[in-house]
Amino acid sequence: MSNIEEEREKEKALAAAKEQKHIERQKKIKANVDERVAQATEERGVLVVITGNGKGKSTSGFGTVLRAIGHGQKAGIVQFIKGSKWECGEMNILKQFPIQHHVMGTGFTWETQSTETDIAAAKVAWQKSKEMLSDESLDIVLLDEMTYMVKYGYIELDEIIEALNNRPKMQHVLITGRACHRRLIELADTVSEVQPIKHAFKAGIKAQKGLDW
């Protein structure tokens, strides 16, 4: 056997050994995943919090609602903060389906500059939220940007927690917004924190249709 042929055989042997290690590693990963799946037997509604200062929290919430609708489930959405004049691309799609939907309607707090107006609108939005959280026909409820209502003291935190604890057993709830209160984070089953690395707006690029709303 020539030196070239010997080198080729060595390379084949090394490649085969590497492939076998990969197979063994993947088998261990699969076994671990299978075990975790087998252990996850509880079935109930899940409370999800999507918080942090990064972009994409509401988009994630709306995307999850769209997924649920795709499976034939019924959804409810309450949008806090956003005003009725703000177009919402996600809702342009979702409103084509028979969902329950309420918009707080006053816009951002720096637009109204009226605490009294904001509190009144927040209480109406929260009443709609409570109705959804007690509706057994709804499989999933999105409370978009609700964390601000807690931060500003517009809605009592204890009342929110009570409603979440007493909701139908199989109902999923998504809460989005910055600076989520620690008690809601502790109560949640799943928490994702979206952190900003860069944002076009800070570089002077204005918010654009289709990308930002």
Query: How far from 76 is each of 2, 10, 68, 79, 203, CA to CA, in Å?
Result: 74, 63, 11, 10, 36
CATH of residue 146: 3.40.50.300
Sign of CA dihedral 32, 34, 38, 43: positive
Identify the residue whose tokens are 């959280």.
Answer: 133
Asked whether residue 213 is domain-assigned, the answer is no
> Which structural domain, as residue segments, surrounds residue 22?
1-41
Average pLDDT estimate for 205-213: 81
Residue 110: pLDDT over 50: no
Residues 195, 96, single domain; the answer is yes
Give the tens place of pLDDT for each residue, 36-93: 777 777 899 999 999 999 999 999 999 999 999 999 999 999 999 865 556 788 888 8
pTM: 0.82
From edge to edge, which strands make up the β-sheet containing 190-193? 100-105, 75-83, 140-144, 172-176, 47-51, 190-193
Q: Which residue has the higher pLDDT, 85 or 183?
A: 183
Residues 20, 78, single domain; the answer is no
Residue 115: pLDDT over 70: yes
* Backbone φ and ψ of 42, nearest 5°: -70, 140
Query: How far from 175 is each of 15, 40, 111, 213, CA to CA, in Å?
Result: 49, 23, 23, 18
Residues 114, 171, single domain; the answer is yes
Please give the torsion angle defined by the CA atoms of residues 132, 137, 163 and 188, in that order, rounded to the nearest 10 degrees.
-100
- Output the pLDDT for position 84: 52
Asked whether residue 156 is domain-assigned, the answer is yes
Residues 55, 74, single domain; the answer is yes
Average pLDDT estimate for 15-24: 84
